[in-house]
Chain A
Amino acid sequence: MSGLIALFKRDLSVAFQQRSELMQPILFFVLVVSLFPLGVGPESAILQKMGPGVIWVAAILSSLLGMERLFKDDFQDGSLEQIILSGMSLPAVALIKVLVHWLTSIFPLILLSPLWALFLYLSEPMYWALVWTLLLGTPILSLIGAIAVGLTVGLNKGGVLLALLLLPMFIPVLIFATAAVESASLDLAYNGQLAIIGAMFLFSLALAPFAIAYALRVSQT
């Protein structure tokens, strides 16, 4: 247990020292979101209609960008070997690393979300629905994504391969999250969609750590 806490603290402090790199996916997100009004025109009705989809697609893409680094440093410098050999439970280690990654590279996106709401003229209920779907949905992206990142960590050609592996897996989250925001825009209840996203979150929380642990072991051979 003390090892896991030490891992949590260490990962946070390493992330803090690399904060400029962590900012890159967030800047990417801002750029993508601000390109859309330039591409489709500034009419607020169209932007409001497209807003949830644009934000979610941008969130998925930027989380993919940041995800590549999840295990890379630890794999390359051999820390991962020592962690595996330390006898700590590997699924727990995986969970901690995903948690730190989510906190440092995706949570800031959610903190900045009022800005997107302004950019894309989201109404207030839409905004709250968006925040809820991001809070429940982005951990799913991190958890499932980490499986593929673990599998490809030994290859030096992660990028596009990761997108090919993961984008199809993220479709359900995208569908339900944008549907929730759309319901909110019509002042309808959206807790049904949120419940489904929550269920997917719990499901991936229960299973993904084991798959990530297996993936990390495979990467060692």
Chain B
Amino acid sequence: MWKWLHPYAKTERAYQLCQRLLPWFTLSGLVLIVVGAIWALAFSPADYQQGDSYRIFHIHVPSAILSKSLYMGMASAAFVGLVWQIKTSFMSMVAFAPVGAAITFISLITGAAWGKPMWGTWWEWDARMTSQLVLLFLFLGVMALYKAFDDKEQGSKAAAVMAIVGIINLPIIHYSVEWWNTLHQGATLLKLEKPSMPVEMLLPFLVSLFGWSFCCVSIVLLRIQNEIISRELKRPWVIALANQQVKNSS
């Protein structure tokens, strides 16, 4: 199984793979987001309880789901990098972190915007919002640790250790926050249970979920390429690539 993965430990091959995958993810991601947004905003019915304000759900929920997936992705890349000492794996880990932080931030902002009409307040110490906030801090911690090192290789190893400590801690943090929340607020707060969604609402949601996922993948791919280039500026293949680009554009 590792045979087909192994060549991508080489930075040049990994760069080419990103290059090949990039247009597909970008194109399909953008199309799906546009379709999903139009569908969700204009065509799907309003919620009988929440009115039109529920429509932010089509951004909020995908970003909440993706934030955790991106952390998972980052930690998996970190794990692969630490165990098999694969350079490109560390680079992908570094590429994941800011995307994850941005998506987590989006989920917090949209959550607050949704909370205002629903709960009457911008911020509620709700279990899910609190653990999203902690997730944002975890992303920021990994990024800050990486940036603190001059030597990028050493920095990415350190950040990888922290990402793995984070992924072990994440479920513990999540459940402790949930438990803390029920302990302190009980049933006083109207909890938004997940009602069974009608198909007209589910379909545009799925479309935007996939659109957002593909877009995130394409941004991560771009960032991986960027990371590879910036670390290997002086390698012959990068210089050859740059020369070719110059030739093509002139």
The answer on direct contact between A and B (beta carbons under 8 Å) is yes
Which residue numbers of A lie inside 8 Å of B, CB to CB?
Answer: 144, 147-148, 151-152, 154-155, 157, 161, 164-165, 167-169, 171-172, 175-176, 179, 200, 207, 211, 214-215, 218, 221
List of B residues within 8 angstroms of A165 by Cβ: 141, 144-145, 162
Closest to A160 in B: B144
Residues in A with CB closer than 8 Å to B82 are 214
B197 on interface, CB distance cutoff 8 Å: no
CB neighbours of A167 from chain B (8 A) = 137
A172→B176 contact, CB < 8 A: yes
Number of interface residues of B (CB under 8 A): 29
- With A152-B148, A172-B172 in contact, is A164–B158 under 8 Å at CB? no
Nearest chain B CB to A146 CB, angstrom units: 11
Q: With the chains together, A175 CA to B168 CA distance in Å?
A: 17
Distance A154 CA – B137 CA, assembled complex (angstroms): 23
> With A151-B161, A152-B158 known to touch, is A169 a contact of B145 (CB < 8 Å)?
no
Asked if B180 is at the interface of the complex by the 8 Å CB criterion, the answer is yes
Chain B residues with CB below 8 A from A164, complex form: 137, 140-141, 144
What separation, in Å, do the CA atoms of A179 and B181 have in the docked complex?
11
Contact with A along B148-192 (1 / 0, CB 8 A): 110101100110011011101100110011011001000000000
Among candidates B138, B164, B183, residue contacting A179 with C-beta atoms closer than 8 Å: B183
Chain A residue nearest to B133 in the complex (CB): A168
Q: Given A161-B148, A200-B172, A218-B157, answer yes or no on A169-B140 (Cβ-Cβ < 8 Å).
A: no
The CA of A157 and the CA of B148, in the complex, are separated in Å by: 8
* 22 chain-A/chain-B pairs, Cβ below 8 angstroms: A144-B165, A148-B162, A148-B165, A151-B145, A155-B148, A155-B149, A157-B148, A161-B148, A165-B141, A165-B162, A168-B134, A168-B141, A168-B169, A168-B173, A169-B166, A172-B172, A175-B176, A200-B172, A207-B168, A211-B161, A221-B151, A221-B153
Q: Is the interface of B mostly helix, strand, loop or mixed?
A: helix
A171 touches B145 (CB 8 A): no
Known A164-B140, A168-B137, A179-B183; judge A215-B161 contact (CB<8 A): yes
A73 → chain B closest CB, angstroms: 20
Given A161-B144, A221-B154, A179-B166 contact (CB < 8 Å): no
Q: Is the interface of A mostly helix, strand, loop or mixed?
A: helix
Instruction: With both chains docked as a complex, state the minimum distance between the C-beta of B204 and any C-beta of chain A, in angstroms.
Output: 34
Q: How far is the CA of A164 from the CA of B144 in the complex (A)?
A: 8
A152-B148, A172-B169, A175-B177 given. 20 additional CB < 8 A pairs?
A: A144-B165, A148-B162, A148-B165, A155-B148, A164-B141, A164-B144, A165-B141, A168-B134, A168-B166, A168-B169, A172-B173, A175-B180, A179-B180, A179-B183, A211-B161, A211-B165, A214-B161, A218-B157, A221-B153, A221-B157
Q: Is the CB of A171 within 8 A of B173?
A: yes
Name the residue on B nearest A207 (C-beta): B168
Smallest CB separation, A164 vs chain B (Å): 5
Closest 7 CB pairs of A and B: A172-B176, A151-B158, A168-B137, A165-B141, A175-B180, A175-B176, A218-B157
How far is it, in angstroms, between the C-alpha of A144 and the C-alpha of B138 when the chains are bound? Answer: 14
Inter-chain contacts of B138 with A (CB < 8 A): 168
Q: Which residues of A are found within 8 Å of B148, using beta-carbon distances? A: 152, 155, 157, 161
Nearest Cβ in chain B — how far from A183, in angstroms? Answer: 10
Shortest beta-carbon distance, A188 to chain B, in Å? 12
Q: When the two chains form the complex, which single residue of A144, A171, A215 contacts B176, counting CB atoms closer than 8 Å? A: A171
- In chain B between 77 and 99, which residues have their CB closer than 8 angstroms to a CB of chain A? 82
A159–B177 CA distance with the chains assembled, in angstroms: 26
* Chain A residues within an 8 Å CB radius of B176: 171-172, 175-176
Nearest-CB residue, chain B, relative to A167: B137
B128 to nearest A CB, angstroms?
Answer: 15
Q: In whole angstroms, what is the CA distance A154 to B162 when docked?
A: 16
**What separation, in Å, do the CA atoms of A218 and B78 have in the docked complex?**
14
A residues near B140, Cβ cutoff 8 Å? 164
Report the Cα distance A155→B155, complex, angstroms.
10
Chain A neighbourhood of B141, CB < 8 A: 164-165, 168
Q: How far is the CB of A76 from chain B (nearest CB, A)?
A: 17
Other-chain contact of A152, B145, B153, B183 (Cβ < 8 Å): B145
* Residues B151 and A151 in contact, CB atoms below 8 Å apart: no
